[in-house]
């Protein structure tokens, strides 16, 4: 009987820990999506202060899409990896070019006492790739 109670206690503890980890991941996903939304609002309102660093090459933005690649929770710290595709006209060493810029960033979050995730550091750019239209360069 003691063995059954011990096993049930372990299963219950593991189950509760898993549920808490899933809930933390969901809340962290929402915080990551909020960051994506804030960047989109900054682009729409031409608020350069709200844009991530390194985006000064954008001359004219036609569209932007973003998605969450990965979420990692370690206690009260969390990481969200986001990939964003920017389509438009960019300033390059060859002049202005039409194309797509893909940037992958890692966002660092900290969970507060009430379970709310807040971004704790500026976005860390971890990858960047650009493809240009096969047509002529933009004027």
Domain boundaries, the chain: 2-132
Q: Could you report the per-residue pLDDT of 2-17, keeping only the tens digit for each? A: 665 565 555 555 554 4
Read off the pTM: 0.77
Q: Please give the CATH number for the structural domain made up of 2-132.
A: 3.10.450
DSSP codes of every residue in 80-123 = EEEEEEEEEEEEETTEEEEEEEEEEEEEEEEE-TTS-EEE-S--
Answer for the pair 119, 76: CB distance below 8 angstroms, yes or no.
no
What percent of the chain is predicted at pLDDT more than 90? Answer: 64
Q: Could you report the per-residue pLDDT of 8-43, keeping only the tens digit for each? A: 555 555 554 444 444 568 999 999 999 999 999 999
With a cut of 60, say whether residue 50 has pLDDT above it. Answer: yes
């Amino acid at each position: 009987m003691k063995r059954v109670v011990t096993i049930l206690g372990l299963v219950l503890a593991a189950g509760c820990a898993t549920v808490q980890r899933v809930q933390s991941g969901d809340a962290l996903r929402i915080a990551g999506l909020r960051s994506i939304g804030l960047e989109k609002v900054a682009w729409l309102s031409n608020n350069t202060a709200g844009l991530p660093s390194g985006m000064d090459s954008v001359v004219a933005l036609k569209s932007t899409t973003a998605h969450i690649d990965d979420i990692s929770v370690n206690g009260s710290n969390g990481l969200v990896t986001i990939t964003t595709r920017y389509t438009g006209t960019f300033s390059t060493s060859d002049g202005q070019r039409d194309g797509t810029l893909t940037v992958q960033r890692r966002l660092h979050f900290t969970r507060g006492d009430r379970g709310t995730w807040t971004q704790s550091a500026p976005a860390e750019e971890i990858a960047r790739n650009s493809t240009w239209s096969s047509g002529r360069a933009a004027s």
